[in-house]
Structure 1
């Protein structure tokens, strides 16, 4: 790359952030607010001619001017971003992009994980996914009756426990994946521990962290989507395709369970996507009715984590809250809110 240089942009300075935003817009891409670091390719006159960004373990917001094509600008940007992410403690790195960019990123040392009509996901480790999920093999994978549930459990409620109990009765072995992202009110380590404690009496249930291969709305990049494209639909199709094509076969999963979703349209649409996609891979989708309790007016109300969070925010730990959660969560909430009230 003769007469070109690469250096990090200072996103804390309005000038650099504006320059990056304008450059991305020129390439019909959007700046995303969660960007943690960005690198630019500059010509001899210090004009920005290429860029690449990152957030957490995701590399994104790549754009390169036509004048740089054939000069391996993308490879140089990826190298700097990988170095930056390693220094920040992120070693499992991912790219989510359009399928047409597959060759560009495979030539930079990334390996395809899953592809849909709209998007492609790649990672920087050839066997990263296999190595992560093989740890969860239980030695009983000769059964054709293995199921799974993916849950956030923010926090773990009697509704979650009822869903797990139902699914456990329908399977020889049930894998529970607790969503690992720490973007929830309750920390991941606490959520994982509560689900393990709350299901300890179910001998055929194994509880795992979800790992970085289960994609959420919170981390899915939308910078390359066109106006009118449904980000939640595209994200759910990629997430379900990755699960069905790569994760389920490793663990011999043939059933996936989820609770009925009467309120949240995003979750309801995700369930509908599972109904469409999972059978293509020989996986059954089983939707389970949510359990209810009476509200203060005597009307039936679904037990949900959002209801628990709302009550906690309004009134703290009350008898109503404690009636909605298993004993392990009740003990945890009393300790947590008691500790917070003393500070």
Structure 2
């Protein structure tokens, strides 16, 4: 039996990173750009025989050299990654895997949330985690004939977001507003949630929800085992919508409103797939034309760009007063600094 050494692979260690890339590529995987911790199992000659990584509370980029499969090495890697996650306070863990690997992870204590057949399975380490989330949502259900849902990141909340909620509220009895919980945006979740509620406080038929880890974002969806970019977007959309269908059923949602996306190719394809999938299951998908500032569509990306370039006064005409007041406050200083320090604030 060979002796293996488990070691962290740091991004600054170019030699080990190259070995990880080579092993992943050999096993048909491309290293994900979103990783914050990686490990490798090395043999006595310092050959990399297995690897795995984390990003936030997800496990990803796991592979074993084909010449060493059957030795239980991936089990060692996954067990270490789970222990590392627990040490940094992440108790609820998620992973995405190929469909033919789902049984292996089920044997390690992960349970299926949703899948896109032949492409990807979304799993978590709690047997009843998603069902508990759905049960909590049911407690917030409100009776009505027309029950709508809106999912938004609101990074930050603009007059465009406000217009979408106003239109949705005017056309439905109840609107469930889901704000993406993942803190991968330049404006933190607690701030975004606060600004959404403040900017829509005049609408009395809204129910607000954090998405938790179940409605996923581009930042956390793994692209490492789907090579074609268009396929990545479509698989992400289908997986996300398969999760949303279960959320909609728990709340009696029969309509989902989304803003038209003239700027982002990713969101444009996502909306197209969403409409196809939801229409097919009896949930009406309403795509709302974007509110303009008189010439072009209002965009959170443009708001972030103005903040980054010290043109704060220019955002006053495209965000609610509550959003503008926040960015003038002391509380906003670290958020503004994060935006100024960001390499890219425009999302395509």
With normalisation by structure 1, the TM-score equals 0.88
Q: Which residue of 2 aligns with 1:309?
A: 304
Deviation of 1:274 after TM superposition, in Å, equals 0.8
Does 1:206 find its partner at 2:200? Answer: no
Q: Which has the larger radius of gyration?
A: 1
Aligned length: 334
Question: Alpha-carbon deviation of 1:139?
Answer: 4.7
Moved more, 101-110 or 304-313: 304-313
Name the residue aligned to 1:5.
Answer: 4
Which residue does the alignment assign to 2:165? 164
Residue 238 (structure 2) aligns with? 237
Q: CA RMSD in A?
A: 2.4
Residue 33 and residue 282 in structure 1: after superposition, are their counterparts in 2 closer, same or farther (change >3 A)?
A: same
Shift of 1:71: 3.2
What does residue range 24-39 of structure 1 map to in structure 2 within 5 Å?
A: 24-39=24-39
Q: Residues 121-163 of structure 1, C-alpha deviation per residue, up to 9 Å, x if partnerless?
A: 1111111122234333355444342211111111111111111
Question: Is residue 247 from structure 1 mapped to residue 242 from structure 2 by the alignment?
Answer: no
Bigger shift: 220-229 or 81-90?
Answer: 220-229
Residue of structure 2 equivalent to 1:181: 182
2:267 corresponds to 1:273:
no
List per-residue Cα deviations over 1:244-270 (Å, max 9, x = no partner).
2x2222222211101122222211111
TM-score, structure 2 length as denominator?
0.87
Distance 1:67 1:309, change over 3 A: closer
Q: Is 2:214 the partner of 1:221?
A: no
Task: Give the whole-Å Cα distance in 2 for the aligned partners of 1:178 and 1:338.
Answer: 19
Q: Structure 2: which 5+ residue stretches go unaligned?
A: 338-348
338 and 17 in structure 1: CA distance in 2 versus 1, 3 angstrom threshold: closer
Q: In 2, are the aligned partners of 1:32 and 1:223 still within 8 Å (CA)?
A: yes
Over 3 Å counting, the alpha-carbon distance change for 1:105 and 1:316 in structure 2 is same
CA distance 1:328–1:98, change in 2 (3 Å): same
Q: Hey, what does 1:292 align to over in structure 2?
A: 292
Bigger Cα displacement from structure 2, 280-289 vs 137-146: 137-146
* Separation in structure 1 between the aligned mates of residue 85 and residue 331 of structure 2, nearest angstrom: 36
Kindly state the Cα deviation for residue 292 of structure 1 after the two structures are TM-superposed.
2.1
Give the deviation of 1:226 after TM superposition: 3.0
The answer as to 2:62 corresponding to 1:62 is: yes
**Contact 2:326 2:332 survives alignment (8 Å):** no
Write the distance in 1 (CA, Å) between the matches of 2:229 and 2:262: 25
Q: Which residue is equivalent to 1:297? A: none
The list of structure 1 runs, each at least 4 consecutive aligned residues, that deviate by more than 6 angstroms after superposition, is: none
Tell me the distance in 2 between the aligned counterparts of 1:309 and 1:242.
30
Kindly indicate whether the alpha-carbon contact (under 8 Å) linking 1:316 and 1:337 is maintained by their aligned counterparts in 2. Answer: no
Residue 104 of structure 2 is matched in structure 1 by: 104
